Amino acid sequence: MNLLSLALAAALIAGGATAASAQTTAEAGPFPVTGNVPNLCAAGTLTGGGTAFDLGILSNESTGRMRRDLEATPKILTAAYCSTASTITIEATPLESVNNTNAPPPGFSRRIDYSATASGWTNVAAVYDTGSTSNPAATQSRATAFQGDITVSIGTFSTNGGDILRLVADPAYQGIVTVTLAATT
């Protein structure tokens, strides 16, 4: 009986040794590495000579009516970008006399309307007309992240009430153009 037990034990040892002879490898992981980038838009750097469109004298000094040759150098928003799909919206307020805010007498006006345009971001430029009650083209969309320059320009000036009207005198007429880039979530 003891002989049988010993022989069996020896066989078990030998069998175990054979099965465990390979060298094993240890693995840890994969450890997930994760991060995120938020939706983000930046308007870039404004270039084009200051932050204001300077139109100079608005009226024809001999007629008192709005000059027909008003123009302003476009502004460039350099290296604007959105990290995802986005919309661009342009809004503008009319040029209005800042100091003389009284209702103009017959034959006069204190407001010049114009159109403001933001181009370069979308295939169709965003346009806002201060003389229009509806501006559906003021917002345009693009489906991809994008980096580029946005050209902001103003033009198509007209005297509110009709170009036959004369402009009231004022040392400052002022309007504001606003361009908004918004990430589409």
Partner 1 sequence: MKTRIALLVLSIAIPAGAASAQQGGPVQGSVALDAIVAGRCTLGPPSRNSIPIGQLSNSSGARVGRLATIPDQQISLPGSWCNFANTTMTVEARALVALDANPVQAGFARAVNYTSTVTNWAATNAATTTAATVAGSTPSSQGVSSIHPEPKLADVTLILNNFTVPSDGILVSGAYAGAVTITLGPAS
Task: Note the residues at the interface with partner 1 (CB under 8 A).
Answer: 2-3, 6-7, 10, 13-14, 16-17, 20-40, 42, 81, 83-84, 144-147, 183
Cβ 145 to partner 1 shortest distance, Å = 5
Cβ 180 to partner 1 shortest distance, Å = 17
Contacts of 128 (CB under 8 A, 6+ apart): 90, 91, 92, 115, 116, 117, 135, 137, 138
Give the nearer residue to partner 1 in terms of CB position, either 83 or 180: 83
Give the nearer residue to partner 1 in terms of CB position, either 28 or 164: 28
Cβ 141 to partner 1 shortest distance, Å = 15
Q: How far apart are CA 175 and CA 119, in angstroms?
A: 20
Q: Tell me which residue of 93, 74, 49, 77 sits closest to 181, measured CA to CA.
A: 77
Cβ 119 to partner 1 shortest distance, Å = 18
Give the nearer residue to partner 1 in terms of CB position, either 12 or 176: 12
Sign of CA dihedral 7, 9, 14, 16: positive
